[in-house]
Structure 1
Amino acid sequence: MDLDLRKLRYFVAVAEELHFGRAAERLHIAQPVLSRQIRSLEDDLGAEVFDRNRRGTLLTPAGEQLLKDAVPLLASAQALLRRVKTAAQGTPTLTIGFMPGITVTPAMVVFTGRHPTVNVRLLRTSWDDQVEVLLDGRADVSVVRLPINPQGLTVLPLFKEPRVVMLPAGHRLADRTSVSVADLAPEHLLQDPDAVPEWRDIAEELREGRRSEVPVIHQVEEKLELVAAGTGIAVLPLSTANFYTRPDVVPLPVDDIGPNEVALAWVTSRRAPLIDDFAAAAEETLGNR
C-alpha cells in the first residue's frame, strides 16, 4: 500500500484543528469531501485515526502516531520538490536561513570566494519557523538560535551572546543599570516562557504554576511595538536588541540569565558538499567569537 500524500495533508489539517469544519475551510474543500478522504485514509491504514463522538474530534493512539510521523514526511516531500525544481534551473544554489540580529556576511564572503559560481540566497527566519525552513527545503542550512528541536538535524555550535530585557522607556526599572530575573518575574513576558526558562521558573512559582497567556507574535518589530506600548517585556539576544534600537524602548542587562546560543543547523540526511563547505566557512568566521 502506497500512502497518498494528499490524504496525509488532509489528515494533518484535521489533526491540528481537531474540527472537520475548520480543517475543510483551511484546505478550501467541502467538508463531506474531507470526511470521505479521511475515511479512505483509515481504510488504507486499516486503523481509525480519529475518535468522533459528542465531545468532538479526538486523535486515537494510531492517529497520534500518524501525526508524529506525517508532519516530517510531508515536509520532506515538500523539500524534495523544491530541491528538484532548483536543480532543474541548472545553477548551483545554496539558501541560507538566518535569525534577526545575526550577521552572516563574513561566512558568505568566505564561501562565495571558494564557490564563485554558486547562487547564494538569504532567507530571514523567526523563532517559529527557523527549523521548519530546513525540514521543508526552503533553506539548505540555517543560522539558528537555540534551543531548537534537534531531531533529524545536525547542529554545529558557533557562539554565545548575552541576552537583555526590553522595557518601555517609562518602566519602573528603566533607570537601572541592570536587573535580575526576580525583578522581572511580575511582568508579562511577550514570548514563549520556555524560551526564557529562568523567568518561567520564578514566574510560575509566584503564580502557583499558572501561566499567563502568550500572544502570537511573529516579528521582532511587532514585539517591540508591544513593549513600547507597555503591554509587556521581551528578552532578546544583545545583537538583536542593538539592531532594533528605538528611543521608546530600553535594553537592560539581566544579571542572572544565561546567554543565547547561536548554531548552524541542517538536515542530517542531506548529502551536499556545498552545505559542508558553508559549515566550514561559518565555523571559521563566526565560531567562538
Structure 2
Amino acid sequence: MDVDLRLVRYFLVMAEELHFTAAARRLYVSQPALSNQIRRLEGLLGVQLFERSPRGVTLTAAGEAFLPHAQRGLAAIRAGVAEALDATGRDQVLRIDVLQTDLVTPRAVLARLRDRLPSLRLEVSSRGSRDQEQRLLNGELDLALCGSSASLPDGLKQRLIGREPLGVALPMDHRLAVAAAVAVQDLAEETHYLPRDDFAPEWNEFILDCYRTAGFAPRRHPASTDGTGSALELVRAGECVALGLLSTPCPPGVVVRPLVAGVPLYTWSLRWRESAQTPTAALTALADIDQ
C-alpha cells in the first residue's frame, strides 16, 4: 500500500493538536481541506484514526497504534533526506536574500538551511524584493524570500511557504497600547510608517490594501527606510504607528498589538529563476519550514 507522506504529516500534526482548526492553522490549509485529507488517509488504511464528538477529537485505538509507526517513518524519511541533501550541498554556495534577518520567518529559513545543509555555504543579503527580482533574473542570486505576489515577473517561479498574522507597533504611551486587539479603522487618524515603495512593493501594496478595506487612505510619515529598526525608532518617538508582522521584535518603549480578526495573513514565498539550475537541495530542505 502506498501512502502519501503528506497525509502522514497531516495525521501527526492532528494527533498533536487534537483540534482541526489549530492543526489546519499549523499546516497552512483550510479546516475542511484538512478534514478531507484525514478521511482520505483513513480510507486508504481502512480504519478510523480519530473519534470526532461534540466534546472534541481523540485518537481511536487504531490511531494510537498507528502513531508511533508514523512518527518513526517520517523521522526516518527526514533523516534520509537530510543526509542526501548534505551530500548534495557539500562544497556548494547558496546566495539567498531574505529581506530582513531580524524577522521570525527569515530567521527560521536560515536556521533550517544551516541545520539540514550544514556543508552548504550561505551568502545572505537583505536588499529588498525589487532588488531580488533583478538579481535573480541576472543570475546574481539563487533564492529569495519575500512576500507572495500575483504578478510574478516573467522568468521567475515562487512557492508559498507560510503565513503570519499582522499587528500594529505603537508607542508605549499610545491610547491603544493597552488594547487586547486593535481594529485597523481605529488607526485612521494616525500617521503611518511605510518602507520605501521600491524596497518591498508587495508589502506596501498588502498594507495599503488593509487600509483601503478599512475605508481610509493613510497619512504617511515622510521618512522611509529599509529596515524595521529605524521604523520602530520613529514609532518609539511617537511620530507614527506601523502595521507589521505580529512577531516583529520590539525595542523598549514600543509595543505590538494584534489586529482584530478578519485582517488577512501575510504570505511568505520563496522565489528562484526558472531558467537557472533549480536550488533543489535548499527547496527540499525548506519544504516543511512551517513545522
Establish whether residue 110 from structure 1 lines up as the match of residue 116 from structure 2. yes
- Residue 259 (structure 1) aligns with: 265
Task: Give the Cα–Cα distance (whole angstroms) in 1 for the partners of residues 94 and 159 of structure 2.
Answer: 18
Secondary structure of 2:257 counterpart: strand
Deviation by residue 1:250-274 (Cα, 9 ceiling, x = unmatched) = 10000132111111111112124xx
Alignment pair present for 1:143 and 2:154? no
Alignment equivalent of 2:254, drawn from 249, 254, 261: 249
Q: Quick one: distance in 2 between partners of 1:202 and 1:172?
A: 23
Residue in 1 aligned with 2:282?
278
Aligned residue among 225, 228, 234 for 1:226: 234
Task: Provide the C-alpha distance between the structure 1 equivalents of 2:257 and 2:220, rounded to a whole number of angstroms.
Answer: 23
Counterpart contact for 2:232–2:250, Cα < 8 Å: no
Secondary structure, aligned partner of 2:179: coil
Q: Does the alignment pair 1:168 with 2:176?
A: no
The RMSD of aligned alpha carbons is 2.5
2:212 aligned residue: 201
Q: Which runs of 5+ in 2 are unaligned?
A: 1-90, 198-203
* Counterparts in 2 of 1:121 and 1:225: CA distance versus 1, 3 Å: same
Q: TM-score, normalised to structure 2's length?
A: 0.56
Tell me if the contact between 1:168 and 1:229 (Cα under 8 Å) persists in the aligned partners.
yes
Q: Is the 8 A contact 2:191 2:240 kept in 1?
A: yes
Q: Shift of residue 199 of structure 1?
A: 3.5
**3-state SS of the aligned residue for 1:196?**
helix
* 1:172 alignment partner AA: R
The residue correspondences of 1:1-289 to structure 2 (distance < 5 A) are 92-100=92-100, 101=103, 102-103=106-107, 104-112=110-118, 116=119, 118-126=120-128, 129-147=131-149, 149-151=151-153, 152-191=155-194, 193-202=204-213, 205-206=215-216, 212=220, 215-239=223-247, 241=248, 244-255=249-260, 256-272=262-278, 275-284=279-288, 286=289, 288-289=290-291
The alignment of Structure 1 onto Structure 2 pairs a total of residues equal to: 185
- What's the offset of the Cα at 1:119? 2.9
1:107 positional shift: 2.7
Q: CA deviation at 1:136?
A: 4.0
Q: Does the aligned pair in 2 maintain the 1:182–1:202 contact within 8 Å?
A: no
Q: Is the Cα contact below 8 Å between 2:168 and 2:246 reproduced in 1?
A: no
Instruction: Tell me the distance in 2 between the aligned counterparts of 1:231 and 1:277.
Output: 45
